[in-house]
């Protein structure tokens, strides 16, 4: 819009309010994570009386945070890599190849995105039970069960976004490569993937964020040995006490990987989303 004086005043007011709205909870988390426990109880202190790094050291011994971290990392990284790979193949097929049942396939994938996890939770649990009874393959309480669950739940969005992205890449690029004798798969790997990098990064970040923050399936499909961070953080709150300062310190620590990743690829994410999702 045109920058009149009124516009500038209004802009400053609105952006200040929005910034405070975003910043206050973040400030509360960070400032609480630096306070000793005795200063956390009672009236909230906006300016800490005393600053200490000890919550950041204590979090590792109060609960097995490193173990939860490792579990989350293994599950999330595997789910993200697999999801992106599967989505790239399917999206390429939808965007570039002609086949019977394409419409039915795309519609099914798209519509499953609509349904909440709660509808799948119990049936999935039962199916996993049956698979264990039949084959001995342990999908509950194992990494594998959560990995395939998470990767499937991010697939619809990933396929939809990537097929839009692939379709917007000029076909001449691939054709030139295929003339050089690379074949279709060669063209996909050498030509399409480099061009579609922003879209692929956006999809990977989306998958990573979704899996890293997932609670519902983790609450039923993990056990003590495979517990992820989303559930593990609860352990800072016992029956009698909540170690709020440690809980906040742990929150900061578990947020850092996604936050850093997000800020690094933020430009790609916006570009990828606007190319793939906003038509």
Partner 1 sequence: MSHSALDSGTAAEGSKSAIDPEPGQPQGVTGQPPRKPRRSFLPYGLILPAAILEILIHIGPMLLGIWIAFISLTQLNLTNWLNAPFVGLQNFVNGLNPESTIGQAFFSTVGRTLGYTILVVGFSWILGMAGAVFLSSNFKGRAILRTFFLVPYALPAYVGTIAWAFMFNQRDGAVNQILVDTFHLFGDERPFWLLGQNSFGAMIVVNIWQLWPFAFLMLMAALQNVPNEVYEAAAIDGATLWQQFRTITLPMVRPANGVLLMVMSLWTFNQFNIPFVLFGASSPKEATLVSPLIYQNSFGSWNFGLGGAMSVLLLIALFIASVFYIRMVLPKGADND
User: Within 211-250, which residues bind partner 1 (CB under 8 A)?
Assistant: 212-213, 215-216, 219-220, 229-230, 233, 244, 247-248
| Cβ atoms of 149 and 217 closer than 8 Å | yes
Per-residue binding string, partner 1, 85-124, x by CB under 8 A, is: xxx-xx-xxxxxxxx--xx-xxxxxxxx-xxxxxxxxxxx
Selected from 32, 80, 226, 246, the binder of partner 1 by CB under 8 A is 32
Q: 237 has which bridge partners?
A: 242
> To the nearest whole angstrom, how small is the minimum distance from the Cβ of residue 50 to partner 1?
18
8 A C-beta contact, residue 33 and residue 249? yes
Task: Pick the closer one to partner 1 by CB: 149 or 226.
Answer: 149
Half-sphere exposure of 101 (CA within 13 A, CB side): 3
- Contact call for residue 277 and partner 1 (CB under 8 A): yes
Residue (67 or 96) nearer to partner 1, CB? 96
Tokens read off for 25: 């909870």
Three-class DSSP category at 83: helix
Q: How many helices (H) and strands (E) does the chain have?
A: 13, 0
If binding means CB under 8 A, how many residues of this protein chain bind partner 1?
113
CB of 96 vs partner 1, minimal distance in Å: 4
Helix axis angle, 54-62 to 65-96, nearest 10°: 90
Rounded to a whole number of angstroms, the minimum distance from the CB of residue 35 to partner 1 is: 12
Rule CB under 8 A: is residue 22 a binding residue for partner 1? yes
Q: Which of residues 141-180 bind partner 1 (CB under 8 A)?
A: 148-149, 151-153, 155, 159-160, 163-164, 167-168, 170-172, 175, 178-179
C-alpha pair distances (Å), 211 with each of 51, 120, 220, 225, 263: 33, 16, 15, 18, 18
Contacts with partner 1, 252-271, as mask; x by CB under 8 A: --xx--xx--xx--x---x-
Name the residue nearer to partner 1 (CB basis): 3 or 224.
3
Nearest to 60 by CA among 263, 236, 239, 208: 236
Interaction between residue 43 and partner 1 (CB under 8 A): yes
Q: Which pair of structure tokens corresponds to residue 200?
A: 């692929």
């Amino acid at each position: 819009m045109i920058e009149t004086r009124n516009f500038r005043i209004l802009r400053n007011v609105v952006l200040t309010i929005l910034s405070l709205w975003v910043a206050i909870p973040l400030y509360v988390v960070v400032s609480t994570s630096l306070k000793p426990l005795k200063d956390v109880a009672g009236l909230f202190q906006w300016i800490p009386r005393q600053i200490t790094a000890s919550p950041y050291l204590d979090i590792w011994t109060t609960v097995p945070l490193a173990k939860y971290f490792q579990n989350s990392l293994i599950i999330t990284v595997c789910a993200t890599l697999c999801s992106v790979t599967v989505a790239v193949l399917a999206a390429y097929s939808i965007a570039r190849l002609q086949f019977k049942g394409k419409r039915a396939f795309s519609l099914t994938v798209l519509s499953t995105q609509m349904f909440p996890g709660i509808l799948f939770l119990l049936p999935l649990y039962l199916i996993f039970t049956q698979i264990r009874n039949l084959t001995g393959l342990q999908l509950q309480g194992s990494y594998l069960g959560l990995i395939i669950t998470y990767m499937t739940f991010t697939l619809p969005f990933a396929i939809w976004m990537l097929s839009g992205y692939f379709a917007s890449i000029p076909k001449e690029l691939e054709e030139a490569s295929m003339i050089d004798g690379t074949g279709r798969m060669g063209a996909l790997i050498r030509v399409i993937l480099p061009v579609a990098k922003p879209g692929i990064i956006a999809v990977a970040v989306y998958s990573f964020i979704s899996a890293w923050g997932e609670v519902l399936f983790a609450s039923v499909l993990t056990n003590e040995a495979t517990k992820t961070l989303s559930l593990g953080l609860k352990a800072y709150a016992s029956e009698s006490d909540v170690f709020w300062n440690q809980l906040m310190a742990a929150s900061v620590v578990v947020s850092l990987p996604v936050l850093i990743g997000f800020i690094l690829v933020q430009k790609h994410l916006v570009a990828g989303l606007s190319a793939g999702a906003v038509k």
